[in-house]
Amino acid sequence: MTAQEIYSKSEHEPSNPKDWAWKFWQVVPLYPYGQRRTIRKEVVKDSIWTFDQIQGIFYVVVPIRMTVVKLETGGLLVYAPVAPTLECIRLVNELVTEHGEVKYIILPTVSGIEHKVFVGPFARYFHNAHVYVSPHQWSFPFNLPLSWLGMPWGRTSILPEDISQTPFAAQFDYAVLGSIELGLGKFAEVALFDKRSQTLLVTDTIVSIPEKPPEILQLDPYPLLFHARDSAAEAITDTEANRIRGWQRTALFLFYFRPQVLATVSFMQALLDIAKAPERSRKAFFGIFPFRWREDWYKSFEILRGNGRIFVAPILQTLILNRDPQVVIAWANKVANWDFVRIISCHFDNAIAVTPSEFRQAFNFLEKNPQPSATANLSKEDFEVLNQINNILQGYRIIREARDKI
């Protein structure tokens, strides 16, 4: 792959709002509910494309991403489908026309219902595609057959432990993280490596935060503008600076729930502040804005972003991966043996230039004596709320206790 063949080009065309409809949004009722826009981006020329949509709660929104890879033998592989709106399927079918049919669909997670919910509906648009799902699937409150969870009958399989048993083994390799027993359920994730383009696909384990909001969030910037304010009395105003500030604060919400630089006002004070709000529509939550950011909030974002370096999300560090450090490190070591040059994650930044060594360093938080690296420089103070949640869940035996570092 030459330097000229590796680039990033966004492809988005105006479309009818009917093409954005997602009729099963009640299954996982996340914003923007029944209307989901899609942006396709060509990441590696004629080889890899990403499809971004958004999801969130109370205007705390983040990209959710599907990746499509061209097969050397012709056709396409889809990793982590998103909502199959008419717009999304049209954009996929444009690739089908040029590169061949969708042959394989990969569900790379067991606990991420926001990914799992789209697989069955997406597969119904591509009747010849075989669906492969991560091992260790489970459902709550009862473990149900995959077909009962919407997976297509007769063309759904568990990814085998030995990749040579799959029809795409010549082009790809994969490593399954887990399963990690959490108590209430399990965590597992499939990292998929496209040897042809030297690209690693992951779901939730690795992220990188861009300085400015991703393009998909800027199609409707209202959620960003909502959080750009400093008080209920401030108007919701669309400027580039407000979009950027809103995105950076959103990132702090997403990773820490309540970072140290954020205070919340009392419910009574929030109600009193409604009288000062210039907009009290339903869209603006009737004027309720119970947040107060410290003046130095941006420093917290700078530490979190770390100049765009990759890292493991704090919620995974605090509540999930530390339940079995040995399994996680073994998986990270296996993945780090592949010669990838970029990572495509299902969330946040796209097509991150990274080395296998940097990937491995991102998991140093699980080691007693880690090698110094930039990936470890997250603010311990901002973990306070996550640590409190961990202590509560462990105290009530909802999740297993964290194991010692290795």
Domain, as residue range, for 287: 232-306
Is residue 222 a part of any domain in this protein? no
Instruction: Lowest mean pLDDT of 1-15, 142-156, 214-228, name the range.
Output: 1-15
For residue 4, is pLDDT > 70? no
Is residue 24 a part of any domain in this protein? yes
> Which pLDDT belongs to residue 6?
43
Mean local confidence (pLDDT), 380-390: 93
- 174 and 89 within one domain: yes
Mean local confidence (pLDDT), 385-406: 94
Residue 149's pLDDT band (cuts 50, 70, 90): confident
Tracing tokens 């119970």 back to the chain, one arrives at 290
Instruction: Lowest mean pLDDT of 4-18, 57-71, 135-149, 342-356, name the range.
Output: 4-18
For residue 334, is pLDDT > 80? yes
Cα radius of gyration (the chain): 21
Residue 324 φ then ψ, to 5°: -155, 70
Domain boundary residue among 277, 306, 335? 306
- 187 and 146 within one domain: yes
- 71 and 38 within one domain: yes
- Are 189 and 134 spatial neighbours (Cβ–Cβ below 8 Å)? yes
For residue 11, is pLDDT > 80? no
Mean local confidence (pLDDT), 23-46: 96
- 149 and 19 within one domain: yes
- 137 and 112 within one domain: yes
pLDDT over 90 percentage in the chain: 86
Pick the residue with more confidence: 229 or 113? Answer: 229
Q: If you count them, how many residues does the chain have?
A: 406
Residue 16's pLDDT band (cuts 50, 70, 90): confident
- Burial tier of 337 (Cβ tally within 10 Å: 0-12, 13-18, 19+): exposed
- 298 and 149 within one domain: no
> Which pLDDT belongs to residue 12?
58
Is residue 4 a part of any domain in this protein? no
- 300 and 177 within one domain: no
For residue 373, is pLDDT > 90? no
Is residue 248 a part of any domain in this protein? yes
- 203 and 350 within one domain: yes
- 251 and 149 within one domain: no
Is residue 404 a part of any domain in this protein? no
Q: Domain of 54: which CATH number?
A: 3.60.15.10
Is residue 405 a part of any domain in this protein? no
- Are 124 and 152 spatial neighbours (Cβ–Cβ below 8 Å)? yes
Is residue 177 a part of any domain in this protein? yes
For residue 5, is pLDDT > 50? no
- 332 and 299 within one domain: no
Domain boundary residue among 257, 276, 306? 306
Query: In DSSP terms, which residues pair with 64 in a beta bridge?
Result: 53
Is residue 202 a part of any domain in this protein? yes
- 341 and 294 within one domain: no
Please count the structural domains in the chain. Answer: 2
pLDDT tens figures, 225-268: 999 999 999 999 999 999 999 999 999 999 999 899 999 889 99
| Helix or strand (DSSP H, E) at 99 | helix 86-99
> Cβ neighbours of residue 183 under 8 Å, at least 6 residues apart?
397, 398, 399, 400
- 302 and 313 within one domain: no
